[in-house]
Amino acid sequence: MPTATLPKFINVSILDFSDPEDRKKMESAIKKMKSEMGKEYPIIIGGEEVFLDKKFGSYNPSHKHEVVGIFQKADKEAAEKAMQAALKAFETWKFTPAEERAEYLLKVSELMKKKRFELDAVMVLEEGKNWIEADGDLCEAIDFLEYYARQIIEIDKGVPLTEYAPEDNKAAYIPLGVGIVIPPWNFPNAILTGMTSSALAAGNTVILKPASDAPWIATKVMELFSEAGIPSGVLNLVTGPGSVAGNYLVEHPKTRFISFTGSMEVGKGIYAKAGKVVPGQIWLKRAVIEMGGKDAIIVDSETDITNAADGVATSAFGFQGQKCSACSRCIVVEDVYDEFVEKLKKRVEKITTGDVADHDNWMGPVINEASFKKAMEYIEIGKKEGKLLNGGEGDDSEGYFIKPTVFIDIESQSQLGQEEIFAPVLAVIKAKDYDDAIRIANDTIYGLTGAVYTDNEEKIEKAIREFHVGNLYFNRKCTAAFVGIHPFGGFNMSGTDSKTGAPGHLLLFMQMKMWSRKK
């Protein structure tokens, strides 16, 4: 479809797997992708497939010995080749009209829609996402492609300036250069596609370094861009540990910007490296950094407690709590504390855990052995810091499964009250009153998402003024931000508040140039 006649942006809806036809399609897709497991995949540099001597495997966290694919362990030499390919491609890509760049994104969107079930199945098998979480991830990826395609067309219309009679003055946004895109494993399609497409739409070339726990889905997305006909070298894929290729590229003098989503510790390291000017570097690198959270949901006395318990459980245990937006602290005013705890316990007991290739399992495994061990260590800490309400059990004999775990009577300044766990572990904290609840919610180094359950309008206004997070929700869960509806990004140690899926996001990857002509 010509970009000039694009319809209004509308978010894609998640599939209803209670529909027998969609359920059958998903079952077939899982079976098909299982048959492809164990294949070897190349890195892509300058449009060419490259195989290296060193390789690594990606594993199914539901069946930890199942290899989903073999991938290349990129080294500094491969990273440098990718840089040179991206630099060369930038010389022509930067002059490619915005509408043409948008067309590539729209082509990828259409291909993603056609291969929807297969891509969902890959996320089920490689990341342990249940069917709904996997399809929600894919929907967000499509939304990013569609949204940024429209946004770059708007940006290309120019910058309105104040008129000055003696001169003809104009300004426009132009691309930056080569960007390093480092997405996380927990939204392996959505965030990867969003980070990549925003940089490409803005006219930059990209070296994509996916997380080591999600190279299969990254490879599948790369295949879509290649099938869409994106020019060689505009998008390059290098897989492997960030300590080798990733660090080399972050510190490279020709790197113009780094777009990262992941843990706070890695993010801070990238931010520090990006701020250091190295020999041969003639600009200040931009760093668009999104990190973690210790997200809180406040439950007030003036609310539907059953609804709040459901929202907290969904926010805390969706995708095993492995979302930067997941609720890991529930702060409940003491007037309804006991009632809420009782309802939350019953709600969490309904959660089914197991291999998410089976649609009946709502909660799957954590991503890998290190995550499993870390979560189990926090569970032991929780037993000392509070009272175990639900779960507390883990089983890694086949996959990395942990029962949804809830601790009550947790103190705000305890480890469970302060540290990001990234697992199905929830801390419930008692507050004296609503004001105390907001104080506790802000008592953290993070500031990503939060939610408040209350029917009191004055309390809602107070939270808007005082609850310091980038994304604040009322009477709903604190997860599931929709592109174009909920611009996403956080404060403090949650990142640079880059607000993905927002009108101004693409400008992070561009710079303004103005020119003046005397009349």
Average pLDDT over residues 262-280: 95
What confidence tier does 66 reach under pLDDT thresholds 50, 70, 90?
Answer: very high
The whole-number pLDDT of residue 243 equals 82
> Would the pLDDT of 5 be above 80?
no
CA distance to 27, 60, 83, 189, per residue, from 186 (Å):
22, 14, 26, 9
What are the contacts of 168-171 at 24+ separation with CB within 8 A? 168/516, 168/517, 168/519, 169/514, 169/515, 169/516, 169/517, 170/514, 170/515, 170/516, 171/512, 171/513, 171/514, 171/515
State whether 272 and 403 are in the same domain.
Answer: no
- Three-state SS for 497? coil
Residues 357 and 463 in one domain: yes
Is residue 129 domain-shared with residue 107, that is, in the same domain? yes
Sequence-separated (6 or more) residues with CB below 8 Å from residue 189: 119, 123, 137, 138, 140, 141, 217, 221
Percent of the chain with pLDDT over 70: 99
Same domain, 279 and 326: no
Examine the domain organization and report whether 189 and 278 are in the same domain: yes
- On whether the CB atoms of residues 407 and 388 are closer than 8 A, the answer is yes
Residues 135 and 95 in one domain: yes
Binned at pLDDT 50, 70 and 90, residue 287 comes out as very high
329 and 228 co-located in one domain: no
Task: Check 126, 146, 324, 330 and give the catalytic one.
Answer: 324
If phi over 0 gives left and psi between -120 and 50 gives alpha, with beta otherwise, what is residue 435? alpha
pLDDT number for residue 316: 98
Q: Tell me whether residue 165 is in a domain.
A: no
Q: Judge whether residue 249 has pLDDT over 70.
A: yes
Q: What are all long-range contacts of 265-273, with beta carbons under 8 Å and residues at least 24 apart?
A: 266/242, 267/291, 267/495, 270/182, 273/247
Q: How would you classify residue 177: left for phi > 0, otherwise alpha for psi between -120 and 50, otherwise beta?
A: left
Query: How would residue 22 be classed by pLDDT, with cut points 50, 70 and 90?
Result: very high
Query: What tokens appear for 172 in the block?
Result: 């426009």
- Domain with 461 in it: what CATH number? 3.40.309.10
User: How does residue 452 score in pLDDT terms, banded at 50, 70 and 90?
Assistant: very high
Distance CA 334, CA 329 (A): 15
Structure confidence by residue, pLDDT tens digits, 123-154? 999 999 999 999 999 999 999 999 999 999 99
Choose among 236, 233, 223: nearest CA to 107. 223
The C-alpha atoms of residue 286 and residue 324 are separated, in whole angstroms, by 22
77 domain-assigned: yes
On the question of pLDDT at 414 being above 80, the answer is yes
The tens digit of pLDDT for each residue in 91-128 reads 999 999 999 999 999 999 999 999 999 999 999 999 99
On whether residue 405 sits in a domain, the answer given is yes
Shared-domain flag, residues 315 and 405: yes
> In 3D, which of 11, 9, 225 has the Cα closest to residue 135?
11
Average pLDDT over residues 206-216: 97
Is 451 contained in some domain? Answer: yes
In this prediction, residues 396-423 reach a mean pLDDT of 97
The whole-model pTM stands at 0.96
Q: State the CATH number of the domain containing residue 97.
A: 3.40.605.10
Q: List the catalytic residue out of 103, 140, 146, 290.
A: 290
**Where in the sequence is the domain holding 77, given as residue range(s)?**
3-7+20-160+174-291+497-511
**C-alpha Rg value of the chain to the nearest Å:** 23
When divided into structural domains, the chain yields a total of 2
User: Do 189 and 324 belong to one domain?
Assistant: no
Dihedral through CA 461, CA 465, CA 466, CA 471, nearest 10?
Answer: 90
Residue 4 scores a pLDDT above 80: no
| pLDDT(446) > 60 | yes
Mean pLDDT of 477-506: 96
Sheet containing 55-60: give its strands across: 40-41, 63-72, 55-60
Q: Mark whether 290 is an active-site residue.
A: yes
Confidence of residue 3 (pLDDT cuts 50, 70, 90): low
Residue 517 falls within a domain, yes or no?
Answer: no
For residues 248 and 322, membership in a common domain is answered with: no
265 is known as an active-site residue:
no
Same domain, 364 and 245: no
Q: How far apart are the first and last CA of the chain?
A: 40
Average pLDDT for residues 257-281, to the nearest whole number? 96
- pLDDT for 245 equals 81
The position carrying tokens 């190349």 is 42
Q: Are 51 and 26 found together in one domain? A: yes
pLDDT in tens, 182-193: 999 999 999 999
